[in-house]
Amino acid sequence: MKFFADTAEIADIQRLAATGLIDGVTTNPSLINKSGRDFIEVTKEICALTDGPVSAEVIALDHATMMKEANVLRKIAENVCIKVPLTIDGLKTCKALTDEGAMVNVTLCFSAAQALLAAKAGATFVSPFVGRHDDNGFDGMQLIADIRLIYDNYDYNTQILVASVRHAIHILEAAKIGADAITAPPAVIEGLFRHILTEKGIEGFLADWAKTDQSIL
Ligand code: E4P
């Protein structure tokens, strides 16, 4: 399963990239706003920190302008993945860009029918937002299971990128269903490393080791 960091904070990406466990980065206009950085500049810096896809989102709502924006974003680096919203114009743009060989992440997916359309448009990734789905009284993980079933029925290559992840259980459930990737805030990814019994175990081993009066080095 691929792990993407859902952030535009350079320090967070550097810290996560150093673990060797991060396969790419996703950003969106809200995350760019939160970073306080220039969109193009920060995207360039992020692309240099990972070999994996870095999702950068178009702002326009019409196909022609989306294409113009995508062409600007594609010049930033080889690993830029153009993020388009799940609308008719977004999917039209997705089709045109993937036909040209660009990576495309179709974002703001909230139904299996929408995900089916994204696959038909040749999307590299589809991003179903599980957290926002749950927040509104729907079952986010059922959406992931439905998309997995549909994609497997037709051997679609579009990767399911579980987005709007709020906690570790979302990641575990997505992995059990067989989602291809998740994108999560750095704090959620870092939370996966921690377990109280691991910490207690280390404490106990170190206390006993001290009593042996030995050293490895
Ligand atoms: C995905 O690519 C989005 O950037 C992100 O996962 C949205 O998450 P949110 O619902 O926490 O804003």
Q: What is the pLDDT of residue 105?
A: 98
Query: Are 87 and 117 a contacting pair, CB within 8 Å?
Result: no
Per-residue pLDDT tens digits for 185-197: 999 999 999 999 9
How many CA atoms lie less than 13 Å away from 23 in the CB half-sphere? 10
Q: What is the pLDDT of residue 82?
A: 98
pTM of the full structure: 0.96
CA-nearest of 91, 7, 21 to 52 is 21
Q: Which residues pair with 2 in a beta bridge?
A: 181
Q: What is the pLDDT of residue 99?
A: 97
User: What stretches of 122-187 adopt beta strand conformation (E)?
Assistant: 125-128, 159-162, 181-184
CA-nearest of 135, 134, 161 to 147 is 161
pLDDT mean values, one per 10 residues, the chain (217 residues): 98 97 97 98 98 98 98 98 98 98 98 98 98 97 98 98 97 98 97 96 98 97
* Owner of token pair 């050293």: 215
Please work out whether the CB of residue 131 comes within 6 Å of at least one atom of ligand 1: yes
Please work out whether the CB of residue 158 comes within 6 Å of at least one atom of ligand 1: no
Domain spans of the chain?
2-212
Q: What is the rounded CA–CA span in Å between residue 41 and residue 84? A: 20
Smallest CA separation from ligand 1 atom 6, residue: 164
Smallest CA separation from ligand 1 atom 7, residue: 164
Query: Are 71 and 97 a contacting pair, CB within 8 Å?
Result: no
Q: What is the pLDDT of residue 46?
A: 98
Average pLDDT, the chain: 98
Active site residue 176: no
Neighbours of 128 (CB within 10 A): 30
Helix axes 63-74, 88-99, angle to 10 degrees: 40
Contacts of 194 (CB under 8 A, 6+ apart): none
Cα-to-centroid distance, 6 and ligand 1 (Å): 7
CA-nearest of 114, 122, 113, 125 to 26 is 125
Please work out whether the CB of residue 105 comes within 6 Å of at least one atom of ligand 1: no
CA-nearest of 75, 98, 76, 22 to 84 is 98
Q: What is the architecture, at CATH level 2, of domain 2-212?
A: Alpha-Beta Barrel (3.20)
Cα-to-centroid distance, 88 and ligand 1 (Å): 21
Query: Are 110 and 131 a contacting pair, CB within 8 Å?
Result: no
Cα-to-centroid distance, 208 and ligand 1 (Å): 45
- Run of H or E residues at 144: helix 140-154
